[in-house]
Structure 1
Amino acid sequence: MPKPADMTTPPRYALQATAVCLGFLLALPLIASTAANAGTLRDKIMERRQERKEQRAEQAAEKNEMTEAETTDLAPQGLPAGTKVLRDIAYGSDKRQTMDVYLPANAAAQKSMPVIFMVHGGAWKIGSKTARGVVENKAAHWLPQGYIFVSINYRMLPDIKPLEQADDVAKALATAQSKAAEWGGSGKRFIIMGHSAGAHLVALLASNPSIAARAGASAWLATIALDSAAYDIDKIMGQKHYRFYDEAFGSDPAYWQASSPTLQLKQAAAPFVAVCSSIRPDKPCAQAGVFIDKARSLGMQAMLLPQSLSHAEINKNLGLDNGYTTAVDNFIKPLVAAQTIP
């Protein structure tokens, strides 16, 4: 007779199942740890990818700011025939406080010509009054129409910060206005224009008239800001931003506010055009639009002019035969024509 099974002894399969369960339970902490580590590693990889993406975006933005400084200087053959150039006219004691004046071929026979007064960009730290993108197409377009074209240099970072740079621009403007009659121009028929960091500086003069007044500058006809993304520095500094803004504007909120054209604009000023790139990743049209809306609410004549152009193209393409140039011309020509010639 076979011996009856001992019901108190677990069958072999039960022992195996128990061993598997125990092994699984013992392995749970390791599995959990491995999963956690995998999650952490995945998060780190994603963070690193985001950091690289942001770094590339910042590098692209800074390159955009500096593109015009990398272009070659304007050669004489790039100017309209008969152009006379007055180089390095000083408006201060520093060697960087100079301007170039481009006179049309018939300037000697003219009086009270309007003046385009141009301020270059370059992230508030580099750039040149003689860069091709700053001068060439603009001079080629406006000189034959009887305009004088003035392009200025100014002191830059790290020696001089943006508010002091605005003082330089105001001083250059006052000097150019005082000398305009010598060149065949009129001190009352100025259009001030700037690109990038230079656009921020002319917008600051437009929004805070005391800067120009301290330097002795008088009123001008219009301001043309070419693709500034820096109308509200206080807002920029309060969120994730490109590092070159730290270099320019520091850490003092009071300085940010004083450097913000949108925050400084408190009364109607000269007519204003804000040209902005609609394809830039940092979306300069957003800040430009807020500024224009505020200007209009104060009774200013103001126009937002978005362009499907790069930052550099907005600078160098102004003056070419295109709708962009026509829009700017249509804005400023009635103002020039309406100004009584002294």
Structure 2
Amino acid sequence: MRELHRRAALLSGLAAVFVAGTATAQDRPRLRERRRRRAPDRAGGNGRSDAPHTSISTGSDPKQAYDLYANAAATGPVLAFIHGGGWSMGDKSMVHDLPEYAQRHGLTFASIGYRLVPQVTPREQAQDVAAAVAALRRTHPGRPLFLMGHSAGAHLAALVGTDPTWLAGQGLQPSDLAGVILLDGAGYDATGDRGDGYSGRLLGQLYDAAFGDNAAALSPTLLVRAGVTYPPFLIFHISSRQDSRGQSEALAQALNRAGGRAEVVVAPDDSHRDINVEFGQAGDAEGERAARFILGR
């Protein structure tokens, strides 16, 4: 038990420092000035929203649940979000302005919770995500379902969207997803380049602690196969992260070579945090680009 707590503290520390430090030194003054001019995160510093919602359990652990946000007028697709946090931190309440985003675009919004490392590995986290997807499909029959994740949540969204194993356990397949949207993820190939310098070393420690010896088996890019029907992917990355750019492009190339459809979009002025916090705000370029993807415009 003491070792479990020690690993949890290490992972949490690594994840927190990585999220705070992904901008390069030369980018930080520009990013700070841009953030100063922006609208505040209306959900508050913890990312929680006051929008009404219901928590629905999908397993015996409290983390195995999703929050379904009220939108009685919604007739469009379902948008299911997976929070980030280095696989070891975070909570499904971290939605920022996404409930308002869904309201504006006529979407039904859900935020998926999952058990955290070191209690489990990304393997079990993918199972938790797949269980929530299946529950949302049952309760919203006939509605297209888009899966979106940020950071580690982007990795889990990509994993469920590429490896048929996880949805097969729920009687589904990747093509049952209408689309996958990834916000500045990494770990798409957890065996690959982790970037240079301090951030690269930190990311390497984060990967090693989360994946252990299972990095290849849990790397979406390495799991893409010809003959599988994949949903379309919209993959965002920030410009200041070497690893995220390379990982995003390699995943898209693998999907396109296998007959899928994937597009990579750079968010030139965002930090790793900004692309998540601002995504739901009216007029945000990345959010509006994703809305066109979801609504087929």
What TM-score do you get using the length of structure 2 for normalisation?
0.78
Judged with a 3 Å threshold, the aligned counterparts in structure 2 of structure 1 residues 124 and 58 are, in CA distance, closer, same or farther, namely: closer
- In the alignment, which residue of structure 1 is the partner of 2:96? 136
- Does the 8 Å contact 1:271/1:301 carry over to 2? yes
- In the alignment, which residue of structure 1 is the partner of 2:122? 162
Cα distance in structure 1, aligned partners of 2:47 and 2:85: 15
Pick one of 182, 198, 202 that aligns with 1:225: 182
Answer yes or no: is 1:74 the counterpart of 2:21: no
How far the C-alpha of 1:73 sits from its partner, in A, is 4.9
Pick one of 53, 59, 62 that aligns with 1:85: 53
Pick one of 212, 216, 219 that aligns with 1:260: 219
Q: Look up the SS of the partner of 1:329 in the other structure.
A: helix
- Does the 8 Å contact 1:130/1:151 carry over to 2? yes
Judged with a 3 Å threshold, the aligned counterparts in structure 2 of structure 1 residues 170 and 91 are, in CA distance, closer, same or farther, namely: same
Q: Which has the larger radius of gyration?
A: 1
How far the C-alpha of 1:323 sits from its partner, in A, is 2.3
Cα distance in structure 1, aligned partners of 2:284 and 2:153: 23
Judged with a 3 Å threshold, the aligned counterparts in structure 2 of structure 1 residues 59 and 101 are, in CA distance, closer, same or farther, namely: closer
Cα distance in structure 2, aligned partners of 1:129 and 1:149: 12
Could you tell me which runs of 5 or more consecutive residues in structure 2 were left unpaired when the two chains were aligned: 1-13, 23-40
1:290-301 pair list within 5 angstroms? 290-301=250-261
Pick one of 202, 205, 213 that aligns with 1:243: 205
Q: Look up the SS of the partner of 1:159 in the other structure.
A: coil
Pick one of 108, 127, 134 that aligns with 2:90: 127
Cα distance in structure 2, aligned partners of 1:97 and 1:258: 23
Write out per-residue CA displacement over residues 258-278 of structure 1, whole angstroms, 9 at most, x where no aligned residue: 111100011340000111111
- In the alignment, which residue of structure 2 is the partner of 1:316? 277
Letter in 2 for 1:259: L
Cα distance in structure 2, aligned partners of 1:269 and 1:310: 29
Letter in 2 for 1:72: N
- The count of corresponding residues between Structure 1 and Structure 2 is 254
Cα distance in structure 2, aligned partners of 1:143 and 1:64: 32
Q: Look up the SS of the partner of 2:231 in the other structure.
A: coil
Answer yes or no: is 1:211 the counterpart of 2:166: yes
Cα distance in structure 1, aligned partners of 2:114 and 2:239: 29
More helix by share: 1
Cα distance in structure 2, aligned partners of 1:324 and 1:314: 8
Identity percentage of aligned residues: 32
Judged with a 3 Å threshold, the aligned counterparts in structure 2 of structure 1 residues 58 and 102 are, in CA distance, closer, same or farther, namely: closer
Could you tell me which runs of 5 or more consecutive residues in structure 1 were left unpaired when the two chains were aligned: 1-56, 181-185, 336-342
Letter in 1 for 2:220: P
What TM-score do you get using the length of structure 1 for normalisation?
0.68
Write out per-residue CA displacement over residues 115-149 of structure 1, whole angstroms, 9 at most, x where no aligned residue: 00011010000101112xxx232221222332110
- Does the 8 Å contact 1:120/1:152 carry over to 2? yes
Cα distance in structure 1, aligned partners of 2:172 and 2:154: 18
- Does the 8 Å contact 1:171/1:216 carry over to 2? no
